Amino acid sequence: MDNEGVIVVKDGKSTKLKGLAVNGKSVSRAYALKGANETFILIFDNRESDTMSRNKIVAGNWKMNPSSKDEAVELANTLKRAIGSVASECKCVIFPPTCFIDAVATALADCDVEVGAQNVHYEKTGAYTGQVSVSQVKSCGATWVMVGHSETREYIADDNSLFNKQIQASLQNGLKVIYCVGEDVSEYESNISGDVVRVQLAGGLLGITPEQMANVVVAYEPIWAIGTGKTCSNMQANVMHEVIRKWIKEKYGTEVAEKAMICYGGSVNASNTQNLVAEAEIDGVMAGGASLKLDFATIVDRAFGRQ
Ligand code: PGA
> Whole-angstrom Cα distance, residue 200 to residue 163?
9
> Which amino acid, residue 146?
M
pLDDT of residue 183: 95
How many angstroms does the Cα of residue 139 sit away from the middle of ligand 1?
27
| Residue 79: per-residue pLDDT | 98
pLDDT at site 3: 44
* Nearest atom within ligand 1 for CA of residue 291: 3
Q: How high is the pLDDT of residue 156?
A: 80
Task: In whole angstroms, give the CA distance from residue 16 to residue 86.
Answer: 30
Handedness of CA 230, 234, 238, 239 (dihedral sign): negative
Residues 6+ apart with CB under 8 A from 281: 49, 238, 241, 242, 245, 262
Indicate the Cα dihedral angle 123, 129, 130, 132, nearest 10°: 30
265 C-alpha to center of ligand 1: Å? Answer: 6
CA distance 10 to 7: 10
For ligand 1, whether the C-beta of 154 sits within 6 Å is no
Spatial contact of 59 and 287, defined as CB atoms under 8 Å apart:
yes
* Most ligand 1 atoms within 8 A of CB, residue of 118, 154, 221 to mutate: 221
Which positions are annotated as active-site residues? 149, 221
Position 232 scores a pLDDT of 86
Cα(9) to centroid(ligand 1), Å: 29
- pLDDT recorded at residue 230: 78
**Ligand 1 geometric centre to CA of 200 (Å):** 19
> Which numbered atom of ligand 1 lies nearest the CA of 228?
5
Sequence-distant (6+) residues with CB within 8 A of 202 are 160, 247
Residue to probe by mutation, ligand 1, list 147, 268, 298, most atoms within 8 Å of CB: 268
pLDDT of the chain, 307 residues: tens digit per residue: 444 444 555 444 455 555 566 666 655 555 555 444 555 555 555 554 444 579 999 999 999 999 999 999 999 999 999 999 999 999 999 999 999 999 999 999 999 999 999 999 999 999 999 999 999 999 999 999 999 999 998 888 779 999 999 999 999 999 999 999 999 999 998 999 999 999 999 999 999 999 999 999 999 999 999 888 777 899 999 999 999 999 999 999 999 999 999 999 999 999 999 999 999 999 999 999 999 999 999 999 999 998 7
Distance CA 110, CA 129 (A): 33
Edge to edge, what strands does the sheet with 14-22 contain?
Answer: 14-22, 25-34, 40-45
Answering whether pTM is above 0.75, one says yes
pLDDT of residue 85: 94
d(CA 264, CA 147): 15
